C-alpha cells in the first residue's frame, strides 16, 4: 500500500511540476515598439532594433537571460525582474522590455 502511494505521489509530481515553471518564450518590447525581442521555445530568438532583425539564441537561468546574436563579439546579459520585464546591462541603450500579451 505504501509503495503504491509513493508511486502515485511521484507520478503526480513529475506531471505537475514542469507546468509550474513560467516560460520565457514570448514577445518582449519597449513602450515605443522600436526594440522587440522574440523568444521561442528551444532557445532561438529574434532581436529587432529599428526594423533591423538579428537571429539569436538565448539561455535563461535564475534572474538572468543570456542573448547571443550572430555577429556580436560577446553575449548580452539581460536581468529578469520579478514582474517579468527584462533590462539590459547598465550603461546600454536598451530600454526595459515588457512581455506582450
Instruction: Note whether residue 2 is domain-resident.
Output: no
What is the rounded CA–CA span in Å between residue 99 and residue 27?
6
Instruction: Note whether residue 10 is domain-resident.
Output: no
Instruction: Note whether residue 86 is domain-resident.
Output: yes
Q: Cα angle at 61 between 57 and 64, to 5 degrees?
A: 80
Question: With bands split at pLDDT 50, 70 and 90, how would you rate the model's confidence at 21?
Answer: very low
Question: Against a cut of 0.85, is the pTM above it?
Answer: no
What is the rounded CA–CA span in Å between residue 47 and residue 17?
30
Task: Tell me what pLDDT residue 52 has.
Answer: 95
What is the rounded end-to-end Cα distance, in angstroms, of the chain? 47
Question: With bands split at pLDDT 50, 70 and 90, how would you rate the model's confidence at 101?
Answer: confident
Task: Tell me what pLDDT residue 30 has.
Answer: 96
Range of the domain at 32: 23-99
Instruction: Note whether residue 85 is domain-resident.
Output: yes
Residue 33, pLDDT above cutoff 70? yes
Higher per-residue confidence, 66 vs 8: 66
Domain count, the chain: 1
Amino acid at each position: 500500500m505504501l509503495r503504491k502511494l509513493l508511486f502515485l505521489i511521484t507520478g503526480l509530481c513529475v506531471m505537475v511540476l514542469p507546468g509550474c515553471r513560467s516560460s520565457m518564450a514570448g514577445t518582449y518590447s519597449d513602450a515605443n515598439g522600436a526594440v522587440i525581442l522574440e523568444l521561442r521555445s528551444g532557445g532561438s530568438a529574434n532581436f529587432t532594433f529599428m526594423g533591423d532583425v538579428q537571429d539569436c539564441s538565448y539561455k535563461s537561468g535564475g534572474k538572468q537571460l543570456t542573448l547571443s546574436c550572430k555577429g556580436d563579439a560577446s553575449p548580452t546579459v539581460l536581468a529578469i525582474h520579478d514582474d517579468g520585464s527584462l533590462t539590459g546591462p547598465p550603461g546600454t541603450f536598451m530600454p526595459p522590455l515588457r512581455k506582450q500579451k
